[in-house]
Structure 1
């Protein structure tokens, strides 16, 4: 099936009632209408419903569809049902009848597969949160070990829409091996992509857990108790006497040119290659079969026969969109509409649900009004040259809405926010130096201390950590050590010289001079303990955390203790992303195998380094008080101090994981302007074109404004650059890693000859990611490369986390 077969319900309704005029067009020949219930007695205006006749016939003629069955119901009664046109045109013409059996195509997903999964959930055999590999361990590769049952049901598993049809040429078992070996396009749970592959896997899951084939399970647990008498996979297989009138099945088109049209064999080639039974396609049924299912769902899982198929909770779960983003709302197998208004009334209002199928089938159900519409066509018959069924669906839904007589007044729709509001509470955070002071400097009393710090090492009262420790009782501060940018954080040069602190007259040993990056044995000889207090920004290539690791190594060699005074991660302790450093890529900007955005504090990283690198130094971390992992720096109540000369705001720190690594290329990234990392450009970039490409890429939480700027330092100093200003418009959805990939992919596509990514490798520290960028892979496919390594890192990271979410 094609992904477009499950479009949103917005395609059902026309924007106005002007479609009613189509009823004046010439109608096709059709059999008489099947007798219907008293529409006026179930909340429909019968006269208005009967206006469907001419309108549907005209829509069929306009789209060149051979015929259709239309059924409109409400509650336990059918208000309208009629067969139009022809069931078959080739090899002989046959009239459409109410009991025509259609290839349901993607309606298989919610009707057969998702319902079967929910039955197994009802029975406690599986849970939505269960990982797929618990039941199908062969899928534990390429990051698929993180896929849950819920991911699959909501089309959020990171799987491609369809795999190659060539994967099925050697039979079902070989096809399943190839399915199990597929790579992900992106991380599970990250976004909605309609995927037949995902529902093929769910069908396999049902078989593994239930011990029955999918068609057997669905027949015994859904169709028979619901009274869906004509619902079958492979309707013409087995005992032919059970199908004395195969002619009731609507044909589709030839599987190959020159062959007869398919009749009773599923149209979807992948399902057909799997023997006609698959989780994404293969079901055949009638309008009355779907009506029985609609009534079952409206009656909270109880079928018209009185038999319970699903629990009320399972039905609610199927229709609950969970935490899916507003633009990607999805139930469990169903397309759920949660923000929609029709031109008249709300027949299909908030939380209505349904699905469509590639062959021309569709159903939509509204729990609020208990109304539903079923439209079945075989739009591919005889030669796949008919038009779209969308106008027909819009037509029927509009007329059905106009026929409802007792609708409640619709609730007013709230105006959508322009920007996401940030209403999280401000915390009262105490950093490690203040916690240490409140404990009377216990770990340092009577000790000779060396302090690794810079201007960010400050107490709550604004005093530097240097001054606090220099005047602390029974603490002997002997020596200072400076990282990149110096003790005062004002230097943006390649080498920091040794110096003397003006206020205390203490010697300052540079850890960023020439090739020197860590204290020597002589530097530590007269010390008892090393104290580290520097504000990090949460990014792997920000070198303060490399200095931290090297200090631990030096302390272990010299037999000295290390005390880390912790500080919050300013861009939050939840977000983790980007490639994890390859083992052969260690450097001063990639000290350990962590991702670009690590989501840890320096205290947590110190614990991780000390154990995972087997340093085993005598380490004590003095934690912050009052900080939670979800809090960015604006919620800490702490004063912002620029961690380095060009890191001038929290916004710039948030952008740095995505913009910083691009500095290795021939781009100006805002250094030498008043907004470093908030603007990116080069003399060869056309600002309007690049801004449009980036905005069209829909990078979450961001917007791009075309600009020109002249940097006063570094790349393109004194030259006019075209580029973009990066705006973070929604902090709740913004991901700097996605931003970086968006910048890179649009540059690679639009400026392949001008943009030079040759020196990216040291910053990315990941061979596969670097090659994927050179190859022009999409951002989603690049992120898919990291799924397993990020999952592995998360398991390690969890052992060293100090703070709650």
Structure 2
């Protein structure tokens, strides 16, 4: 991986890419470093390298903080409850969470059309009651006074987590383990904290560029709100590998089955992936490149993660990078889009 002067990476210190079509993994590769920096120097605007013998290479089995890819698992868990009759997409959120204003539905949480604010500073309120009070104040605003249309919000998935836990009596981590990762054999997918070795490092998290002073993070969730919420949150907190995410991709492309395991029926999968998508974004060229345009679905994560499913060609792409190591930047999604475009063109040539 080419590095710019003064230790600043071209896009990320390291990356893992896995692409497949049908049952075949067509490409799987790793480049760069899972751990390179010990800190960030704000005066010189550069990472401070660890001794060279302590750099850890990126491997295809490196574990990543998934960031907002965690939302996809929360969405799948929600649709499982819909399929089992414990939850309805068009029921009002206040039926489960009475502090919410009337008119907001579970479907709106999943499609980011609730109008809720993008986030709230839970990280400034370590007490659970204070955190919930913040959410209840935001949720109580009359829905008629909210901006219409799409407004991406972590609060949607945090609220959905609370609904799932209320209607099942289980924590979100247990729901995802018992309903998704366990049946599918995704043994490298879990909430943290994790032992740091083999995990891609993220940020030297300090104010003013971050929202908390935590130092270099590795094996603990990067997202400050997920951290403040105890590491298990509807919007962030999961860790995984490219191979495990490939299993999830194949499961959804197979209509909810993988081997002998079934986690969803075909109709439930269609509800997740058909436009406008429930939890999944649909046809978003900024990271899907030329895979977009035929109903491709997927998501990105702030730490540098992404996945795309293209049912039209039975193709998937997982790209995981540690773009926030050693400090968050507006790194953009051009490499994600470029990788997706190369896959789309390769599939077109092979068809």
Question: TM class by shorter-chain length?
Answer: 0.7 to 0.9
Rate the CA distance shift 1:407–1:353 in 2: closer, same or farther, 3 A: farther
1:401, distance to aligned residue in structure 2 (A): 2.1
CA distance in 1: counterparts of 2:244 and 2:148, whole angstroms: 35
Gaps of 5+ in 1: 1-26, 30-56, 237-242, 322-329, 409-805
The TM-score normalised by the length of structure 2 is 0.86
Rate the CA distance shift 1:89–1:185 in 2: closer, same or farther, 3 A: farther
Alignment of 1:24-173 (within 5 A): 27-28=1-2, 63-91=10-38, 92-110=54-72, 112-139=73-100, 144-165=101-122, 168-173=124-129
2:313–2:347 contact (8 Å) kept in structure 1: no
- Out of 319, 331, 356, the residue aligned to residue 273 of structure 2 is 319
CA distance in 1: counterparts of 2:231 and 2:65, whole angstroms: 11
- Out of 227, 231, 240, the residue aligned to residue 272 of structure 1 is 227
**What SS does the aligned partner of 1:72 have?**
strand
1:527-581 deviations in whole A, cap 9, x for unaligned? xxxxxxxxxxxxxxxxxxxxxxxxxxxxxxxxxxxxxxxxxxxxxxxxxxxxxxx
Q: Which structure has the greater CA radius of gyration?
A: 1
CA distance in 1: counterparts of 2:240 and 2:189, whole angstroms: 4
Alignment of 1:1-12 (within 5 A): none
1:339, distance to aligned residue in structure 2 (A): 9.4
Residue 244 of structure 2 is aligned to residue 289 of structure 1? yes
Gaps of 5+ in 2: 39-53, 208-212
Rate the CA distance shift 1:105–1:400 in 2: closer, same or farther, 3 A: same
Per the alignment, residue 43 of structure 2 pairs with: none
1:171–1:274 contact (8 Å) kept in structure 2: no
- Out of 377, 389, 393, the residue aligned to residue 336 of structure 2 is 393
Structure 1: which 4+ aligned runs deviate by more than 6 Å?
none
Structure richer in strand, relative to its length: 2
CA distance in 2: counterparts of 1:338 and 1:382, whole angstroms: 28
Per the alignment, residue 148 of structure 2 pairs with: 190
Residue 135 of structure 2 is aligned to residue 179 of structure 1? yes
1:339–1:350 contact (8 Å) kept in structure 2: no
Paired residues in the alignment total 326
2:19–2:25 contact (8 Å) kept in structure 1: yes
Alignment of 1:145-544 (within 5 A): 145-165=102-122, 168-182=124-138, 183-184=140-141, 187=144, 190-236=148-194, 246-256=196-206, 259-303=214-258, 305-321=259-275, 330-337=276-283, 347-385=291-329, 388-405=331-348
Rate the CA distance shift 1:288–1:235 in 2: closer, same or farther, 3 A: farther
CA distance in 2: counterparts of 1:290 and 1:302, whole angstroms: 14
1:350, distance to aligned residue in structure 2 (A): 1.3
The TM-score normalised by the length of structure 1 is 0.39
Per the alignment, residue 441 of structure 1 pairs with: none
1:315-352 deviations in whole A, cap 9, x for unaligned? 0111223xxxxxxxx31001011899x99xx6444111
Rate the CA distance shift 1:189–1:366 in 2: closer, same or farther, 3 A: farther
1:306, distance to aligned residue in structure 2 (A): 2.0
Rate the CA distance shift 1:339–1:391 in 2: closer, same or farther, 3 A: closer
**What SS does the aligned partner of 1:107 have?**
helix
CA distance in 1: counterparts of 2:115 and 2:333, whole angstroms: 28
1:186, distance to aligned residue in structure 2 (A): 5.4
CA distance in 1: counterparts of 2:204 and 2:285, whole angstroms: 40
Rate the CA distance shift 1:189–1:227 in 2: closer, same or farther, 3 A: farther
1:214–1:277 contact (8 Å) kept in structure 2: yes
1:185, distance to aligned residue in structure 2 (A): 8.2
1:195, distance to aligned residue in structure 2 (A): 0.5
CA distance in 2: counterparts of 1:155 and 1:347, whole angstroms: 23
**What SS does the aligned partner of 2:204 have?**
coil
1:70–1:376 contact (8 Å) kept in structure 2: yes
1:120–1:126 contact (8 Å) kept in structure 2: yes
CA RMSD of aligned residues (A): 2.6
CA distance in 1: counterparts of 2:320 and 2:142, whole angstroms: 33
**What SS does the aligned partner of 2:216 have?**
coil
1:202, distance to aligned residue in structure 2 (A): 0.6
**What SS does the aligned partner of 1:376 have?**
strand
Rate the CA distance shift 1:184–1:161 in 2: closer, same or farther, 3 A: farther
1:349–1:368 contact (8 Å) kept in structure 2: no
CA distance in 1: counterparts of 2:214 and 2:98, whole angstroms: 40
1:675-722 deviations in whole A, cap 9, x for unaligned? xxxxxxxxxxxxxxxxxxxxxxxxxxxxxxxxxxxxxxxxxxxxxxxx
1:357-382 deviations in whole A, cap 9, x for unaligned? 11100011100101111110011111
1:405, distance to aligned residue in structure 2 (A): 4.9
1:228, distance to aligned residue in structure 2 (A): 1.4
**What SS does the aligned partner of 1:247 have?**
coil
1:177, distance to aligned residue in structure 2 (A): 2.4
1:383-419 deviations in whole A, cap 9, x for unaligned? 335x6241211221222222225666xxxxxxxxxxx
2:285–2:337 contact (8 Å) kept in structure 1: no
CA distance in 2: counterparts of 1:371 and 1:264, whole angstroms: 30
